[in-house]
Amino acid sequence: MRVSWVKPLRSVVLSLVLGLTFLPAVASWAADPPGNPPADKKSEKAPADKKAEKAPAEKSDDKEPSPQQAEAVARVEKQIEAIQSRMMALQEQEFSLNMKVMETQQTANKGVESPAKAAEQLAKGAKTKGLKEYKALLVSCAQQVQAFDGKLFPLVKAAAGLEKDRPQVPDKLKARIDEVVNRVNSKHRSNLEKVAQLYELTAEWRGALGVYTKIQKDMPEAQRAKDTALIRKIADLSDKCGDYRNSLAGYKSLFDAKNPKERFNDRDLGEKLADAYEKCGDAKAAYAIYKGLLEALPKDKRDTDGKGIKDKMEKLEKQGGRPGKR
């Protein structure tokens, strides 16, 4: 009797155990039947409508140009091409001229004892054979460079025309205009500076002054005050030519542009200004400048470093000059 009920009971228990063991697997199979890839929430792609928005299109000046703009663009491009072509053609001539000027200067220098002092000697009226030949050679070089620069005049004029058309063209073309205009104007100024320097080497102060004045006149007005080296050059040459009013204006503009607390520290400029005031008959203003220069020196050095300034102040006092207010 015991055997008959033990086997059925064993079967029931075994069925229950197997059912509990495979139930999770069955549930898993029901959720994800074979053939379907397992779901991966982390790798799910965002819906198409949630994709990153496209970056806005970059702004461009390639809009449909008006007839006037199209005409300006065509005209500017043609002018730029013509200027660049002409500049290329002049390069070989410029190189040849520069070599010739260099050789001529070497020849001129060999004919004088001290080339560095030649201008000073000529300014004092020296007329030796060597100095005469030196001056003739260098003045000839100046004239040749000036003649070559005349070939740039049409290009300078064309560059000015490009600047007038600049507001009507796209930005990319504006950059090309700026590049060409700067190149032409820089070359023109470089030539004129060579001419002026050659005149200076021969004590032709008036000729050099005229060239430097032209350079300044050709500059945009807003840039003139910034070119302090040119202002100083014109003032120095004006003084040498006896144009004291012009030299005074130049020195004063440079002096006034300095920080009031530091302007008297520039002794060289201060003495030039005081001298110009004196030459123009304003002893009071000259005295005031000298007084400021003296006071800018350390007290323990005023008797030594400031001796020259004191001497000039005493001279002005004897001539009727009186201390002025700064």
**Sign of the CA dihedral running 77, 82, 83, 84:** positive
Let me know whether 297 and 264 are in one domain: yes
Mean pLDDT confidence for 114-121: 96
The proportion of the chain whose per-residue pLDDT surpasses 90, expressed as a percent, equals: 74
Let me know whether 135 and 183 are in one domain: yes
Name 86's Cβ contacts closer than 8 Å, sequence gap at least 6: 154, 155
Q: Which of 215, 282, 201, 208 is nearest to 238 (CA)?
A: 208
CATH number at residue 314: 1.25.40.10
Give dist(CA 185, CA 180) in Å, integer: 9
Instruction: Band the pLDDT of 69: cuts 50, 70, 90.
Output: confident
78-100: pLDDT as tens digits: 999 999 999 999 999 999 999 99
Let me know whether 214 and 270 are in one domain: no
Instruction: Band the pLDDT of 68: cuts 50, 70, 90.
Output: confident
Final residue before a domain boundary, out of 173, 194, 218: 218
Instruction: Band the pLDDT of 299: cuts 50, 70, 90.
Output: very high
Let me know whether 204 and 241 are in one domain: no
Instruction: Band the pLDDT of 62: cuts 50, 70, 90.
Output: low
Instruction: Band the pLDDT of 321: cuts 50, 70, 90.
Output: low
Least reliable range by pLDDT among 8-22, 141-155, 171-185, 307-321: 8-22
Let me know whether 111 and 194 are in one domain: yes
Q: How far is CA 111 from CA 26, 107, 130, 137, 140, in A?
A: 116, 7, 5, 11, 16
Name 313's Cβ contacts closer than 8 Å, sequence gap at least 6: 287, 290, 291, 294
187-229: pLDDT as tens digits: 999 999 999 999 999 999 999 999 999 999 999 899 999 999 9
> pTM here?
0.76
Structural domain count of the chain: 2
Let me know whether 164 and 262 are in one domain: no
Mean pLDDT confidence for 304-325: 82
- State the pLDDT at residue 61: 52
- State the pLDDT at residue 97: 97
Domain assignment present for 59: no
8-state DSSP, 59: P
Domain assignment present for 37: no
Domain assignment present for 85: yes
Give dist(CA 302, CA 294) in Å, integer: 7
Let me know whether 167 and 307 are in one domain: no
Let me know whether 75 and 208 are in one domain: yes
Final residue before a domain boundary, out of 189, 218, 247: 218
**Amino acid in position 4:** S
Final residue before a domain boundary, out of 160, 193, 218: 218
CATH number at residue 164: 1.20.1050
DSSP for 78-134, please give it: HHHHHHHHHHHHHHHHHHHHHHHHHHHHHHHHHTSS-HHHHHHHHHTT---HHHHHH
Range of the domain at 295: 230-326
Domain assignment present for 234: yes
Let me know: does 97 contact 144? Beta carbons within 8 Å: yes
**Sign of the CA dihedral running 245, 199, 270, 116:** negative
Let me know whether 139 and 238 are in one domain: no
**Sign of the CA dihedral running 211, 152, 191, 252:** positive
Q: Which of 256, 245, 250 is nearest to 282 (CA)?
A: 245
Domain assignment present for 39: no
Let me know whether 303 and 244 are in one domain: yes
Name 305's Cβ contacts closer than 8 Å, sequence gap at least 6: 297
Domain assignment present for 245: yes
Let me know whether 78 and 187 are in one domain: yes
pLDDT, greater one: 49 or 325: 49
